[in-house]
Amino acid sequence: MNNRIEPSEDNIKIAVIGIGYVGLSNAVLLAQKYNVVAVDINHERVAMLQRKQSPIADKDIEEWLWNKPLKLEFTTDLTGAVQGAEYVIISTPTDYDPNNNYFNTESVESVIAETAKAAPYSTVIIKSTIPVGFTDKLLDQYPNLNIMFFPEFLREGKALYDCLYPSRIIAGVAADAGEEVIAKAAFFSKILQECALKEDIPQLIISPAEAEAVKLFANTYLALRISFFNELDTYALEHGLVTANIIKGVSLDPRIGDHYNNPSFGYGGYCLPKDTKQLLANYKNIPNSIISGVIESNSMRKDYIAEKIIEKNPKVVGIYRLTMKTASDNFRQSSVLGIMKRISAKGIPIIVYEPKLSDDSFFNARVIRDLELFKEKSEIIVANRHDDRLNDVLYKVFTRDIYFRD
């Protein structure tokens, strides 16, 4: 007689390890219907979330934490969280290690090891971005764990929105995993579908390595598109042409489309810099020119932008915001930092307006929190993205933001 209790909203427990913007958005999404325990090693971050305060800038997450009846708990106890969990979702950071030219996957490996001890027959869903072939290595190392890879395609600042309206759901499952494991992957895809607001979401089950490649190639294509329109803008500037007119003409081709075409100082942020480098590392001795060219183009763009500013011989350069996007709180690998460092290397004084900074200096530049004082002291204001608060000093502003959008 089969006494197994069938999974339901009431008895399924899901553990989410790592509550950055990927983990937190997934935790909030799933907690609409299922019991979710979200884990992080940062006590302060967990304490904030227990007070229903989001540690990341995402308006939807902030609103849902306050106003939605979520089945959601936050803790620093990983062992307790994974025990009895139907699914363990890993969304810990995998920064690119420039010394090894590879992702640093220690956080993922550590969570896997702890999970194998505390819940040795768990189903583990990796959502952290990882190198191609990484999941297969873990499967060899932990044969009792059901490990699969579900890539994420989330935008910073709009992560919950992208969970609610996903472009696709992709499951990376080993071909020889067996019917039960494949059924678990299909059921998790179903959970994501039913918690989303979008209907008829395209779904795909492929091998883990193929799913890992999808993530890296998708982000590298986005970086390629950014670099393409940035190089178009460089050409237009050098020949006295109107960038917006050329972009409009190019984008009217439906095969290209009028999207993701706003020039900038270069791509940056959490994902694109590290994912493009990781994909190039995965190529190793495989012939390529486009992948390596994307990375080179991004560096050249920052060189070019810095030179255009330096040519103006400014007495003081003001850096308006270090963040990559208007609604972001992240300035890791921000293209503005690259511009700032290049200008500073020429001995040009720099001041910074960045409300997110608590220190009075940043990279030897004075931090000014009074916007009016910042405008007054700056001879040129360098802004990767336009802000209406700069409208009264547009004659000082240097930006390549044509459409005033991310």
At residue 125, what are phi and psi to the nearest 5 degrees?
-105, 115
The domain in which residue 350 lies consists of: 243-398
Instruction: Give me the residue label for tokens 């917006």.
Output: 244
Q: Which of 18, 177, 140 is nearest to 89 (CA)?
A: 18
Is 383 in the same domain as 279? yes
In the sheet with 380-382, reading across from the earlier edge strand, the strands are 361-362, 365-367, 350-353, 317-320, 380-382, 397-398
- Residue 38 and residue 15: Cα distance in Å, rounded? 6
Tell me, yes or no, if 163 is annotated catalytic. Answer: no
Is 178 in the same domain as 105? yes
Is 172 in the same domain as 250? no
pLDDT of 1 reads: 38
Q: Which of 19, 271, 279, 322 is catalytic?
A: 271
* Domains held by the chain: number: 2
Q: What would the two tokens of residue 212 be?
A: 């890992």
Is 202 in the same domain as 262? no
Is 177 in the same domain as 301? no
In a structure prediction context, what are the per-residue pLDDT tens digits for the chain, which is 406 residues long?
344 444 556 679 999 999 999 999 999 999 999 999 999 999 999 999 999 999 998 999 999 999 999 999 999 999 999 999 999 999 999 988 877 778 999 999 999 999 999 999 899 999 999 999 999 999 999 999 999 999 999 998 899 999 999 999 999 999 888 899 999 999 999 999 999 999 999 999 999 999 999 999 999 999 999 999 999 999 999 999 999 999 999 999 999 999 999 999 999 887 899 999 999 999 988 999 999 999 999 999 999 999 999 999 999 999 999 876 655 556 767 899 999 999 999 999 999 999 888 889 998 899 999 999 999 999 999 999 999 999 999 999 999 999 876 5
Calculate the dihedral angle through the C-alpha atoms of 32, 33, 34, 35, rounding to the nearest 10 degrees.
60
Q: In this structure, what CATH number is given to the domain that contains residue 299? A: 3.40.50.720
Final residue in a domain of this structure, among 206, 222, 251: 206
Is 20:93 a contact under the CB 8 Å cutoff?
Answer: yes
Is 176 in the same domain as 306? no
